[in-house]
Every structure is written in structure tokens, then in C-alpha cells.
Chains A and B, each alone.
Chain A
Amino acid sequence: MTFEQAMDAFRTAFSGSILREETHRGELTFYFKKTDVPAVCRYLRDQTGFNFITDCLGTDRFTDEERYEVIYHLRNLTQAWFLRLVTRVDESDLTCPTVSDIWPAANWMEREVFDMYGVTFTGHPDLRRMYMPQDFEYYPLRKEFPLIGIEGSIPLPSGGH
């Protein structure tokens, strides 16, 4: 089975779910509603052999509607295929279904997206912050967060000197 054949089969199976697709420099990207993500990912892993999630990341588009994007980079390691999935998350409902039950590697990546953008992954087994302190109140990769940070938001150690 070639990549084109696999993708044609995928398109027919999920014709109702695919919102948009685009090809840039030979890399194929599919856009989905966030509710379709678990079914799509499970199909891609089991039927198409995308057995490895290279990356799961977020972006802040700073738009009024569907502000955040969660992006999945998938690889089929036996065929060396690459595929990108994108789903958009609106600010009014900052949740997205987890894929960490499909690829366990997504666990920490989703924690990072949560840490940086505040997107909550429903069904995630251990959604704590990844880099920032647990009591940190902000999401640093959001566009409105100042680059230098907010003074006093992370306490520095002090001692008798």
C-alpha cells in the first residue's frame, strides 16, 4: 500500500469529519473538529500504521474565534510516512480530547501544551504543568503574556546575605 492509497482509504472512511486538507512542500495536513480527533487517531494508528507521534504542540493564533490550535505530527516508522493533523480549540471551551491513550508518548507533550496555552486535555491521566511551577497562574506562550514575564509571579530564593 502506498501513501496515496492509504490516504484515499482514510478520506473515504472520514469524509464527513475532514474539514480541510492542504499540502505544503509534500507534507499533507488534515483539519478536524476536536471531537473527531480520538476516532481519527485510532484509525490512523490501527489501520494505517501511524505508530509514532513525533510531536503534539499548540499555537496561539490570537483570533476571536477558534483561537488555539493543537497540532499532531504522526509518523509511520515502517513506511517512513509523515502526516499532520490540526484541530482548533475555541477560547470559550478550552478543552481537547486526549490522545495519550492511543500513543502514550503524547502524555508529556499534552502536558506541555497545557502548561504553555492552558488547553485542558480531557481524559489525560496526569495533567500537571510540565515546566512552570505548579502554582504559576499564567500560560506563558499565549500572545498576551509579556516576554519578560510578570514580576513576582515566580519567587526567587532568598537567604541571609
Chain B
Amino acid sequence: MGVESAFGEGYITTTVDALANWARKNAVWPMPMGLSCCGIELMAFAGPRYDVARFGSEVFRFSPRQADLLLVAGTCTYKMSKVVRKIWDQMPDPKWCIAMGACASTGGMFRSYPVTQGIDEFIPVDVYVPGCPPRPDAVINALMQIQEKIGQHSVLMDR
């Protein structure tokens, strides 16, 4: 981010943090990784009934370059893990990650050789959402927790 680089060491104020965090919090652009059935619930989360636009996250970006939240929804196989990791690496900092559903969090009921036992084996996860699949309100709750986490962020952490 350009703004922070204009300040030298020691000149960052909490006001700048508050401003940047306010902007980031209310414009979390998710990158949807709908890998299986949770992806359907993810669509409901973005749709008009649950309406995530109220939280400023309605802009689903299908390019990782424009996203700051990776929403992994569903069963991640070993084959897909490389893709998820690559997309995560392509996202600009600062970035956050939600593991949506039992499969993304722990492998879920797929305790078998092709399925990774949780996406935290290869990418850092900020919020885990339980459920199979979770209701859209649970995902909204996860988004609010992400917003809370963004609130504690300092622009000093970006460098």
C-alpha cells in the first residue's frame, strides 16, 4: 500500500491504522474457492437473502490479484492443494483466509488418502467455520470475525 510507505519509522499513528482498517474492514473482497457442496452455501451467503453486501463483501473477485480474503469452501484434495496454495501466493498482502465447512477445516468425513486433512496443512487459516455445510449466517459470522481481526491490524505489519 502506497500510503504507509510515505511514513518513516515511528511516525505511524493509531489514526492512520484506524483509517486504513476501517477501509479494509468494510471492503473485504473475497476470492471464492468453491471446491464442493459448501460452494452452494457460499452462493447463498452472497445472494440477496443473506446479502453479504451489508458487510461490504459483495464483490467476489475471481482474480486473486484483486482479493484479500480467500474463502476455501469444501473438500480440498491433494491434487487441488497445489492450486489453492498457488492462488493464496498470488494474493497481495495483507490477506486473510476462511476455512469453510468440516472438510476444509479438518478433512471432515473424508478421512482417506486423496483428501488433505484440513487446509491449514498448507496455508494459514484465520477463521474456521464448522458445519457440513455451514449455514450462510455462520459464514457471515466468520466474516465479522475477520473484520474484527482486521481491526487489530497495524499498517506497520504490512512491511
Contacts and interface: CB of A to CB of B under 8 A. Distances in A.
Interface of A: 131-133, 140, 145-150, 154, 156-159, 161
A148 B82 CA distance: 19
B112 interface: yes
B113 A157 contact: no
Interface residues of B, number: 17
Given A147-B111, A148-B111, A161-B124, A156 B116 contact: yes
Given A161-B123, A161-B124, A156 B113 contact: no
5 closest A-B pairs by beta carbon, nearest first, are A149-B113, A157-B85, A154-B78, A156-B122, A161-B124
Interface of B: 78-79, 81-82, 85-86, 88-89, 111-114, 116, 121-124
B81 A145 contact: no
Contact of B122 (A132, A148, A157): A157
Nearest to B119: A156
Contacts, number: 39
B83 to A, nearest CB: 9
A36 B117 CA distance: 44
